[in-house]
């Protein structure tokens, strides 16, 4: 008489050991047979036990594409509207550093566009809102800011959350733009550990996002998520996750993949790769597999 025992052990992952060192560290490929050197061909599962990310995450990044704003300046009635784009340097911004860069970039962009207007900002610590103003502008002058797809973080930086995630424009009133809501610099709000080998209804998902219906699916899908790791602090600080006992984890079924390649991605909620400045990260996985025993 044989019975089946469930065997548990842990293995470590270091993104520096990815198959292609030229790929971004947030996207890694690993040979399953190298990761799990076992003889069993029975049911085999992986779940996340620990994840440690370096303190190098950028909340504004050219790689992600969330670093640009489109500015339009013109007179009323309109003469020749001038539109230019300002581009923020990669970095991890807070209220002070974002406001300072915003003013510098606007002043330089306006000078280059031809109207040469001057901007300033102020922050209300009670409401959490910022006010962006033109300084000493001619009568009838106005400006507008357009938030487009790649800038869907900067709109929250300026206090204009947009649940539809579509392009929109904010027009200055009396040469001022005031935040509609409190500003929010908490990006990313969580790290999504995704794998192309999540098993869905008995089949392995080989799509990039395994799209679900609705807005969440349109912004990256959820069917390939192995774990969502919350971020407890902003700025350049480490992200450390340790599994809480008693809380079941999503498991990755690799029963038929022992000779295959596993892909893991670290993304934001929009399915964009997290910008770790290409520094490496480490994780510990719990392996569960069954074997027959007397």
Compute the C-alpha angle 228/273/243, nearest 5°.
25
Write the burial class of residue 217 (CB in 10 Å: 0-12 exposed, 13-18 middle, 19+ buried). middle
Domain stops at, among 158, 178, 198: 178
Tell me, yes or no, whether 123 lies in a domain.
yes
Q: How confident is the model at residue 171 (pLDDT cuts 50, 70, 90)?
A: very high
- Is pLDDT larger for residue 89 or for residue 238? 89
Confidence tier at 178 by pLDDT (50, 70, 90): very high
Q: What is the mean pLDDT of residues 181-188?
A: 92
Would 164 be classed as within a structural domain? yes
pLDDT tens figures, 233-290: 777 888 888 876 655 567 777 777 777 788 899 998 878 899 999 999 999 988 877 7
Rounded Cα–Cα distance for residues 128 and 195 (Å): 37
Q: Does the pLDDT of residue 61 top 70, yes or no?
A: yes
Question: What pLDDT score does 216 carry?
Answer: 39
Higher pLDDT, 206 or 103: 103
What is the rounded distance in angstroms from the CA atom of residue 28 to the CA atom of residue 16? 9
138 with 113, same domain: the answer is yes
Q: What's the pLDDT score for residue 215? A: 36
| pLDDT score, position 294 | 55
CATH of the domain at 275: 2.60.120
Q: Are 204 and 228 members of one domain?
A: yes
pLDDT for 214-248, tens place per residue? 333 443 444 678 888 888 777 788 888 887 665 55
Average pLDDT of every residue of the chain: 82
Question: What is the pLDDT, as a whole number, of residue 214?
Answer: 37
Task: Mark which of 178, 201, 221 sits at the end of a domain.
Answer: 178
**Is 135 or 38 the better-scoring residue by pLDDT?**
135
Lowest mean pLDDT among 55-64, 170-179, 229-238: 229-238
- Residue 183 maps to a domain: no
Q: What is the mean pLDDT of residues 10-23?
A: 90
Same-domain check for residues 245 and 269? yes
237: in domain: yes
Answer whether residue 275 is part of any domain: yes
**Are residues 232 and 259 both part of a single domain?**
yes
Q: Are residues 197 and 52 in the same domain?
A: yes
Give the total number of structural domains in the chain.
Answer: 2
The pTM for the full model equals: 0.82
With respect to residue 89, please indicate whether it lies within any of the assigned structural domains: yes
Is the same domain home to 172 and 195? Answer: no
SS3 147: strand
Question: Does the residue 45 lie in any domain?
Answer: yes
pLDDT at 203 over 90: no
CA distance 114 to 140: 17
**How high is the pLDDT of residue 163?**
75
Query: What is the per-residue pLDDT for 197?
Result: 72
Determine the pLDDT at residue 205.
56
Q: Are residues 86 and 169 in the same domain?
A: yes
Same domain, residue pair 75 and 45: no
Residue 221 and residue 162 share a domain: no
> Domain ends where: 150, 178, 206?
178
Domain hosting 207: range is 3-57+188-293
């Amino acid at each position: 008489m044989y019975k089946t025992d469930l065997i548990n052990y842990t293995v470590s992952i270091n993104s520096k050991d990815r198959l292609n060192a030229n790929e971004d560290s947030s996207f890694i490929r690993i040979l399953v047979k190298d990761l799990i050197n076992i003889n069993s061909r029975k049911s085999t599962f992986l779940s996340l036990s620990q994840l440690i990310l370096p303190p190098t995450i950028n909340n504004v990044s050219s790689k992600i594409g969330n670093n640009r704003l489109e500015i339009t300046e013109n007179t009323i009635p309109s003469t020749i509207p001038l539109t230019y784009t300002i581009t923020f340097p990669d970095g991890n911004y807070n209220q002070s550093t974002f406001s300072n860069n915003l003013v510098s970039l606007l002043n330089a962009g306006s000078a280059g566009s031809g109207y040469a207007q001057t901007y300033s900002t102020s922050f209300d610590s009670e409401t959490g809102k910022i006010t962006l103003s033109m300084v000493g502008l001619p009568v009838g002058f106005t400006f507008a800011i357009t938030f487009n797809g790649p800038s869907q973080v900067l709109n929250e930086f300026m206090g204009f959350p947009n649940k539809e995630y579509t392009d929109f424009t904010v027009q200055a009133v009396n040469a001022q733009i005031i935040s509609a809501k409190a500003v929010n610099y908490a990006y990313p709000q969580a790290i999504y550990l995704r794998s192309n080998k999540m098993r869905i209804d008995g089949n392995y998902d080989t799509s990039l996002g395994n799209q679900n219906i609705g807005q969440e699916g349109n912004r990256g899908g959820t069917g390939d998520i192995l774990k969502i790791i919350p971020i407890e602090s902003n700025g350049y600080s480490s992200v450390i996750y340790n599994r809480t006992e008693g809380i079941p984890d999503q498991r990755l079924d690799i029963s038929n993949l022992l000779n295959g390649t596993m892909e893991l991605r670290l993304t934001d909620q929009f399915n964009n790769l997290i910008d770790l400045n290409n520094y490496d990260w480490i994780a510990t996985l719990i392996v569960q597999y069954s074997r027959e025993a007397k």
